[in-house]
Amino acid sequence: MKKVVMITGALGQDGRIITNILYKSNNFKIIGTDHNKNIINKKIKIYKINLFNKNIIKKFISTHKPKYLIHFASKNYSYDFKRKLVFNKEYLDNFIISKNLIDTIVFLNLKTIFIFAGSARMYEGYNGKIINEDTRFKPVNYYSKYKVDIHKYFMQLKKNKKINGSTVILFNHDSIFRNKKFLIPRLINYFINRKLSLIRNIYKSNIIGDFSHAADICYGIYSLMLKKKYPNKIILSSFKKTYVNDIILFINKYFNYKINFNKIRKRPKIFLGDNSLAKNYIKYKPKFNIYYLVNELIKNNIKLLKRR
């Protein structure tokens, strides 16, 4: 019998990619949730349910009894909401939904493995540091504080043996499914739409980050699912410095725009995710480098542009 995997945020980047991975393995029945629509296809059934409503969640999870629950669904409103709305939208809404899912598993006394999508932003207060699973959290905004507080709540229940699973600490990762507000997809969009001043501004910022292909990250989550023991935290990252200015110059080879790339700010210090635990425990070995990803994004965006 196929094991049931429930995915929240199933229509987002990571939800779509891990659905493909699980479907190809042919060992899982995949169900997802989304707040916008119901979708049923050969890969996945997506249900429109209200994750704020405990009774609805209890009925849904009780009906499907998932072996795994992968919780991707969260909203980061930093770019859209300011001041008063930030707490409600970035912390409270996300916290309530996540807590509802955890509490339901515990209430129903299920053996569901809970996989919580953490974020490198849980450590955003550090500057120039290598992050590993023993590093203390240092959140700087409501979104990252929500992630930290849910992890702590999850771990307390795990310690009491009421739930099992892991928080996966995800560093920057992109794909053709990534929302265009994020840096690398945004850069591609700027090039395609010839927004040269915005490209120059990013170049001046001289950004360095720890970037991965989302397919590598999601395959890491899949490999973790197959283990019998689940670490409290596990970092999925490239553990490599990526210089965004190098990416900009690489993209410009396609477009050959005449842009003044001389002015840059002082190079900032960054933190990297040490993925040693993932390499040892789940044999994590990223296959795609950042330039493979950039090529993929360029080709996909040009293809979409031609369809207009």
Query: What average pLDDT does the segment 273-289 reach?
Result: 96
pLDDT tens-place string over residues 7-22: 999 999 999 999 999 9
The pTM of the full predicted model, rounded to 2 decimals, is 0.92
pLDDT band at 30 (very low <50, low <70, confident <90, very high): very high
CB contact set of 256 (below 8 Å; sequence gap of 6+): none
Q: Give the integer Cα–Cα distance in Å for 140 and 137.
A: 10
In one letter, which amino acid is 70?
Answer: I
pLDDT at 85: 59
CB contact set of 100 (below 8 Å; sequence gap of 6+): 51, 52, 54, 57
pLDDT band at 77 (very low <50, low <70, confident <90, very high): low
pLDDT band at 181 (very low <50, low <70, confident <90, very high): confident
pLDDT at 288: 93
Q: In the chain, what percentage of residues exceed pLDDT 70?
A: 92
pLDDT at 80: 47
Residues 25-49 as b/e (b if ≥16 CB within 10 A, e otherwise) read eeebbbbbbbeeeeeeeeebebbeb
pLDDT at 82: 47
How far is CA 263 from each of CA 58, 191, 209, 276, 301, rounded to the nearest angstrom?
Answer: 56, 19, 20, 36, 28
pLDDT at 1: 85
Q: Give the integer Cα–Cα distance in Å for 183 and 172.
A: 10
pLDDT band at 305 (very low <50, low <70, confident <90, very high): low
pLDDT at 303: 67
pLDDT tens-place string over residues 216-261: 999 999 999 999 999 999 999 999 999 999 999 999 998 999 988 8
Summary mean pLDDT of the chain: 90
Query: What average pLDDT does the segment 140-147 reach?
Result: 92
pLDDT tens-place string over residues 106-116: 999 999 999 99
Assign a CATH topology to domain 3-174+212-236. Rossmann fold (3.40.50)
